[in-house]
Structure 1
Amino acid sequence: MQRTQFGAMACSIARTLDVIGEPWSPLVLRDVWAGFTRFDQIQADLGISRKVLTERLDHLVEEGVLERHPYDRRPRYEYRLTQKGLELVDLLMVMTAWGDKWLAGEAGPPVLYRHHACGEISGVDLRCDHCGEPMHAGDVDTLPGPGAEAA
């Protein structure tokens, strides 16, 4: 089944989905961020088929989200997040906060975040990069940006 391509749309959400909209991609990124950097580690953790994992890793490398680094002569590779990939993990952290709030149930969140700077367990909070105030969907208006004309 051919996947719909969103990359040409004048919408940053659609373009992001073109990179990580396939359901396995965010989980692959999560695993690499969590330290599962080798193919067999990721495959074992996710229970994903080798074919699908190969396709997802190739796509994420092609998109510049992951980099391959050889670790032996066969060749075998480990995968590392690029800066672009690290910033996508920020998005996954926001998704996690939503899932923790609405889907975690009585057991509570399966993962906690300890902030390196202060050592405290914390949640993720969106803030305005100008004034530092919390910023949520009800606090903003959408306006056409310079890329809107490209459509």
Structure 2
Amino acid sequence: MSNLCPKFEKAMQLLSKRWVGLVLSELLDGTKRFSEMEADLPISGRLLSDRLKMLEKEGIVRRDYSEFPVRIEYSLTEKGKSMQPVITEIQHWADNWITPEEVEEKIN
């Protein structure tokens, strides 16, 4: 029980980093190239790169290389795939409890 709080806090810090949820959601749909994610997500390439590096360091995302043509793709590891139920439940909660007005307040 003594390790519950630090582990929970670490998980919440990871998930609460800006754009991590969107990056994870994007990769839950399958392997993606950087350019695909950059086109699909409303974040800069630099920030996307930073988030992918962080998630790779955490063992949640991996980079796959193909040799010809040279191509880098990103996908979730088993650790990352196991977050699918968490992301889904957060989305369900948001759909039920976050109002359009609250979203507007956040944007403005």
Q: TM-score range by the shorter chain?
A: 0.7 to 0.9
Gaps of at least 5 residues in structure 1 are 1-8, 106-151
Equivalenced residue count is 97
Matched, 1:84 2:99: no
- Asked if structure 2 preserves the Cα contact closer than 8 Å seen for 1:19 and 1:63, the reply is no
Q: Name the % identity.
A: 30
Q: Separation in 2 of the partners of 1:46 and 1:36? A: 15
Question: In the alignment, which residue of structure 1 is the partner of 2:14?
Answer: 19
Q: Structure 1 residues 21 and 74 mapped into 2: Cα distance closer, same or farther (>3 Å)?
A: farther
Partner residue of 1:100? 95
Equivalent position SS for 2:17: coil
State the superposition RMSD in angstroms: 2.2
Contact 1:36 1:42 in 2 (8 A): no
Higher relative contact order (CA 8 A, sep 6+): 2
Spell out, residue by residue over 1:81-120, the C-alpha distance to the aligned partner (whole angstroms, 9 max, x if none).
Answer: 1111011122101101101212377xxxxxxxxxxxxxxx
Distance in 1 between the 2:99 and 2:27 partners? 23
Which structure has the highest helix share of the two?
2
Tell me the secondary structure at the aligned position of residue 77 of structure 1: strand
1:51 lines up with 2:42 in the alignment: no
Distance 2:14 2:48 in 1: 15
Question: Paired residue for 1:37?
Answer: 32
Q: Where in structure 2 are there 5+ consecutive unaligned residues?
A: 101-108
| 1:68 aligned onto 2:63 | yes
TM-score (norm 1): 0.57
Whichever of the two has the greater Rg, that structure is 1
TM-score (normalised: structure 2): 0.77
